[in-house]
């Protein structure tokens, strides 16, 4: 006998579990189905983000940063340490503990909000006689469910190089890169995106010689050019070797090494021999096993589920959010879509402003941005003005001993409305929130400049950059 629900959410990643909670808050009877389990079969809700993405990578970044500070940064503060050692087993164990805490937290939230959780793989099984969708669950919790509304939030998975499968021992996706049992002497990374740069940074700090091969002719093309140039300079100084314009031709592995054949930007044949190779060339939507054809769910040629501006698919009452649909593959984008869909199902007016979704790289220095960058505005032919302020002139950054980078504010030349904010420097991931809020309310650079910021704080750099739009920075 099938169990009936108002809403069934397929996937318990950031988009799915948040959608389930919001729908339950709005009075809906909700079920959430997710297939992630640990080695013992215990459910691990949270999707890629919690299990092998955002959360574990940040845990390793934090631990590796502490290690590097202890080795190289403590002397400046008058702290003498005779020897510093990294216990990789504890390093990885702490990461696993952080992941487990997040898994357990999501399960607690399901219980708190009276959401029925099913551990298993969900797939469509046609429609019931009353027009409701039938969902089959196979796994630990075998079940037959029916629902008036279905939210698909099945996420994405790493894209492999053609003909080169991940073995997660030598050729690694983000999953394997989070569990390397010993620091490799030489580490190769294909792809200078968020995953490649963050995980490359982790193992560089621990002593690996890291080389990053990027196919694009310029570094970090998604970011503002000024930020990208500053980042490349700092990464090189840190010892992270980045080669742009590299066209990978083939990958061969032996019992101990991996050899990458490629052409450099000049068209010259090159080889790179490493102990481990991280492949981070993008991600693809996870739709296999949904049995989409049983209900006629439409997908595009790349495998993404087609949706309209409201995340509605071609099927009535079937929705899709997060990495499985168009737009940036970001956990917070998925969360926003999940909340909006739950509210739309409940008859409310959920909305997502895709123009104010921030992006963040958690390297050191951190990089964040929201809105348009200079190259985009030039292509659009828009008139703009720029204010920029270096962390070198910020008192709090000096006290922290971290003065790399700057804040850039871009505003409309006619109206002063903030069009974009770009930050490279300490705690950029936190500082960008103020910029998002200002842009959400169509604020002007003058608005930021006239807001009283606490002193001494890193946020004063944003204020000074905003003042710089009209060439009236006080401290620079």
405 within 8 A of 460, measured Cβ to Cβ: no
Question: Cα-flanking dihedrals φ and ψ of residue 460, to 5°?
Answer: -65, -25
Tokens of 271: 């080889």
Query: Cα separation of 78 and 343, whole Å?
Result: 54
| C-alpha to C-alpha distances, 176 to 55, 113, 203, 473, nearest whole angstrom | 15, 34, 13, 46
**Residues near 397 by beta carbon (within 8 Å), at least 6 away in sequence:** 391, 403, 425, 426, 458, 461
198 is in an annotated binding site: yes
187 is in an annotated binding site: no
359 is in an annotated binding site: no
145 is in an annotated binding site: no
**Any idea which residues carry the catalytic annotation?**
455
99 is in an annotated binding site: no
86 is in an annotated binding site: no
If we measure between CA atoms, which residue out of 361, 355, 60, 340 comes closest to residue 206?
Answer: 60
216 is in an annotated binding site: no
127 is in an annotated binding site: no
241 within 8 A of 212, measured Cβ to Cβ: yes
228 is in an annotated binding site: no
Strand runs labelled E in 180-308: 186-190, 209-214, 241-244, 247-253, 258-263, 269-274, 276-279, 283-285
Q: Is 389 helix (H, G, I), strand (E, B) or coil?
A: strand
331 is in an annotated binding site: yes
Tokens of 460: 């004063």
195 is in an annotated binding site: yes
Tokens of 382: 């828009």
194 is in an annotated binding site: yes
58 is in an annotated binding site: yes
20 is in an annotated binding site: no
192 is in an annotated binding site: yes
**Residues near 428 by beta carbon (within 8 Å), at least 6 away in sequence:** 360, 365, 366, 367, 368, 405
Compute the Cα dihedral for 422, 428, 429, 430 and give only its sign.
negative
320 is in an annotated binding site: no
Query: Cα separation of 60 and 90, whole Å?
Result: 11
128 is in an annotated binding site: no
Q: Which residues are annotated as a binding site for FAD?
A: 58, 154-156, 323, 329-332
Which residues fall in the annotated binding site for NAD(+)?
A: 191-198, 214, 282
Annotated binding site: 58, 154-156, 191-198, 214, 282, 323, 329-332
């Amino acid at each position: 006998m099938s169990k009936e629900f108002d809403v069934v959410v397929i996937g318990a990643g950031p988009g799915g579990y948040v959608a389930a909670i919001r729908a339950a808050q709005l009075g809906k009877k909700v079920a959430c189905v997710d297939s992630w389990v640990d080695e013992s079969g215990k459910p691990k809700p949270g999707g890629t983000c919690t299990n092998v993405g955002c959360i574990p990578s940040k845990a390793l970044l934090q631990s590796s940063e502490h290690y590097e500070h202890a080795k190289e940064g403590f002397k400046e503060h008058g702290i003498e340490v005779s020897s510093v050692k990294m216990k990789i087993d504890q390093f990885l164990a702490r990461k696993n503990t952080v992941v487990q805490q997040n898994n357990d937290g999501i399960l607690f939230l399901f219980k708190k909000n009276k959401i029925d959780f099913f551990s298993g793989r969900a797939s469509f099984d046609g429609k019931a006689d009353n027009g409701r969708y039938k969902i089959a669950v196979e796994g630990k919790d075998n079940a037959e469910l029916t629902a008036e509304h279905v939210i698909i939030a099945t996420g994405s998975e790493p894209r492999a190089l053609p003909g080169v499968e991940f073995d997660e021992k030598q050729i690694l996706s983000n999953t394997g890169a989070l569990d390397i049992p010993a620091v490799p002497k030489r580490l190769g990374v294909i792809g200078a995106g968020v995953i490649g740069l963050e995980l490359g940074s982790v193992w560089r700090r621990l002593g690996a010689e890291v080389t990053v091969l990027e196919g694009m002719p310029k570094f970090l093309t998604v970011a503002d050019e000024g930020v990208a140039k500053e980042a490349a300079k700092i990464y090189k100084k840190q010892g992270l070797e980045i080669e742009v314009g590299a066209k990978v031709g083939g990958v061969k592995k032996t019992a101990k090494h991996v050899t990458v054949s490629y052409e450099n930007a000049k068209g010259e044949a090159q080889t790179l021999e490493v102990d481990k190779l991280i492949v981070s060339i993008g991600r693809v939507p996870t739709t296999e096993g949904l049995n989409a054809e049983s209900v006629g769910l439409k997908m595009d040629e790349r495998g993404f589920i087609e949706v309209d501006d409201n995340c509605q698919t071609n099927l009535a009452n079937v929705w899709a959010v997060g990495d499985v649909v168009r737009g940036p593959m970001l956990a917070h984008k998925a969360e926003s879509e999940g909340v909006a869909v739950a509210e739309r199902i409940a008859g409310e007016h959920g909305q997502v402003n895709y123009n104010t979704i921030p992006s963040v790289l958690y390297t050191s220095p951190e990089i964040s941005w929201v809105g348009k960058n200079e190259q985009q505005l030039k292509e659009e032919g828009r008139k703009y003005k720029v204010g920029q302020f270096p962390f070198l002139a910020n008192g709090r950054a000096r006290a922290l001993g971290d003065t790399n980078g700057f804040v850039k504010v871009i505003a409309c030349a006619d109206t002063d409305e903030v069009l974009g904010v770009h930050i490279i420097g300490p705690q950029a991931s936190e500082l960008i929130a103020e910029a998002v809020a200002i842009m959400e309310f169509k604020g002007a650079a003058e608005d930021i400049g006239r807001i009283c910021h606490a002193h001494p704080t890193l946020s004063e750099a944003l204020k000074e950059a905003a003042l710089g739009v009209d060439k009236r920075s006080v401290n620079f």
